[in-house]
Structure 1
C-alpha cells in the first residue's frame, strides 16, 4: 500500500496533474532520497551504526547509481501513464535481475525460471501492445526503470550477506541524496507549499515501506512475503480509479496478471533453491 502511495505522490506532481506547476522527475526523486536520508541517518547515529567500517563502497556506488536511475524512471513513468500500468511494468525488475545475474554473475537458471520470465514478458507485451495505436511511449521509460531496478537487486543481493540492513539503507539514502542534490540543480523549480509537504511525505513513506518490507522478509519466508508486495498493484489501480478516473482495461488486467504470475513463479522457484541449499549445507555440516 505504501509503495503505491509513493507513485501516487509522484504522479500528483507530474505534468498530467500539476500542469505548469509540475516538478521534474529528478526533483521528485531528490525529495525521495533527501528526506529519506534526513530520517535514516539520525536513526543510524542513534543506533551507533558504523557506516565506514568494513564498507563495500564499490557495491554501494553501483547500487546507488542503478537505484537512482530506476527511481527517476519510475517516477517519470508514473507521471505520464496510468498508475496500474507503470506499477505492473515495475514488477519486471526481478526478471531483469535474473537475466543480469546470468550474464554478469554466470548464475545457472533452470527451465522453471526461464518459464517465469517468458510469462512475465508476455504479460508486458499484452499490457503495452507495442506496434498498436494503444502503445504508450512512456512504457519505454517504465521498462528502462525496471531494468535499472533489476540491476540494483544484484548489488543488494551482494551487500545483504556482508552488511546490516540499517547500514545498507542509511548509506544508500545518504549517498543518493548527496549525488542527486548535485544532479537536481539544472532541473530545480521552487515547489509550492503543498508540493513541499508532498515531498516530505514521499521520503518518509518510502523509508517506512522499505523498512516494513525488510522486516517482513526477516520474519517470514520469501514465498510468503512476496505476494503481499504485489498487492501494490491492487492499491495502485484503486488510487488511479478513485483519484484520476483511470479504469483498468482488459489488456491492463490480463497483462498485469501475467506479469505478477511470472514474478511469483520466479519467487517460488528461488525459495525452493534456497531451501535445497540450506538442506545440503546441513547434511555436509
Structure 2
C-alpha cells in the first residue's frame, strides 16, 4: 500500500511541475506587453482561487496573517514579491530553458544560507555541489562573450528568493502553519507589486487576460497538487521530479517560442541539474525535513512538507 501511495505522490508531483511549466509559458506568451509588476500582481489575484484547497483542518482565515515569528513572516512577505518579479522578468526576456537553469541554482543558495544563517555544518559533497552549480552558471552565461540582460538577474534573484523561503521554513519549523507562510507570500506579491504597477499600468487586452488567468490559475493548481503529492510521498522522493520542468521548457521553447539550446547551454544545464540532484541526495542522507521544491512559484516551497511529517 505504501508503494502505491508513493507512486501516487510522484505522479502528482510530475503533474504539478507540468502545470507550473504551463503557467510560466503563459506569462511568457504576454511577451513583455505588460510590466513584470502587473503580470505578477494579476497572477497572484488568480492564485487566490487555490487558498481554500491549501487550508488544512484547524486552519482559519486569520491564520493567513498570524505568525509565531513576525520578522520571518515579513521576510517572506518581501522575498516572495521580489522573487515573483524576478521569475516573471526571467521568462519574459530569456528562453524558458535558460530561465529554469538559472532558477535551479536554488539548492546552492540554500546550502550557502544554511551555513551563514542557520550555522549548519556542510560537508565537502554539498560544497562540491555548490561549486558545480556555479560552474554551470558560468558556462551558460559566458560572461564577456555574450550580452547579459535583466532576465538573467531576475532568474538568479528568483532562485535566491526561493532559497529564502526554504531558510525561513527551516528557521520557524513546525510551529508555523503552512497557510501563514503561504499567505505572507501571496500578500507580499499583492501589496508590493500592486503599488509598483501603478505608474505604468495598462489595462490588459482579452488575450492577455487569458494568459494572466492561465499564469495564476495553473500555478494555484500546481501548488495544490504539490501539497497533495507531499501527503503521499516524502520530499526527497518528489524533489527530483522538479527537473522535469526542463523538459517542458525545451519542448515549449522549440514548439512555441522558437528557442534553441546550444551546446554550452546544454552543458551548463546538465551541471546545474547535477548540482541540484547531488544536494537533494545529501539532504535525504541527512534526513532534513524540508521542502525540496525549486518550482518557479515562490510559494511552492512552503507546501511540500505536510504538517507534523518529516522526510525519511
TM bracket, shorter-chain basis: 0.7 to 0.9
Q: RMSD of aligned C-alpha atoms?
A: 2.4
- Pair 1:9-2:22 in alignment: no
Moved more, 36-45 or 264-273: 36-45
Residue 193 of structure 1 corresponds to 206
State the SS of the aligned residue for 1:187. coil
Summarize the alignment of residues 199-214 of structure 1 with structure 2, pairs less than 5 Å apart.
199-214=212-227
- Pair 1:173-2:190 in alignment: no
Distance in 2 (alpha carbons) for counterparts of 1:195 and 1:117? 38
Residue 18 of structure 1 corresponds to none
TM-score under structure 1 normalisation?
0.86
Q: 1:237 to 1:55 in 2, by over 3 A?
A: same
Q: 1:211 to 1:133 in 2, by over 3 A?
A: same
Shift of 1:213: 2.0
- Pair 1:274-2:291 in alignment: no
Distance in 2 (alpha carbons) for counterparts of 1:242 and 1:218? 34
Shift of 1:192: 0.3
Residue 230 of structure 2 corresponds to 217
Tell me the alpha carbon deviations over residues 229-264 of structure 1, each in whole angstroms, 9 at most, x when there is no partner.
Answer: 111111011111110111211112111111011001
Tell whether the 8 Å contact from 2:106 to 2:160 is kept in structure 1 after alignment. Answer: yes
Shift of 1:48: 5.0
- Pair 1:229-2:245 in alignment: no
Distance in 1 (alpha carbons) for counterparts of 2:223 and 2:278? 23
Distance in 2 (alpha carbons) for counterparts of 1:122 and 1:45? 41
Q: 1:184 to 1:156 in 2, by over 3 A?
A: farther
Pick from 42, 53, 68: which aligns with 2:81? 68
Pick from 28, 40, 58: which aligns with 2:51? 40
Moved more, 208-217 or 220-229: 208-217
Shift of 1:134: 6.1
Distance in 1 (alpha carbons) for counterparts of 2:36 and 2:193? 11
Q: 1:41 to 1:167 in 2, by over 3 A?
A: farther
Distance in 2 (alpha carbons) for counterparts of 1:138 and 1:48? 38
Residue 279 of structure 1 corresponds to none
TM-score under structure 2 normalisation?
0.79
Tell me the alpha carbon deviations over residues 42-61 of structure 1, each in whole angstroms, 9 at most, x when there is no partner.
Answer: 97499752415554332221
Distance in 1 (alpha carbons) for counterparts of 2:158 and 2:54? 29
State the SS of the aligned residue for 1:230. helix
Tell whether the 8 Å contact from 1:73 to 1:141 is kept in structure 2 after alignment. Answer: yes
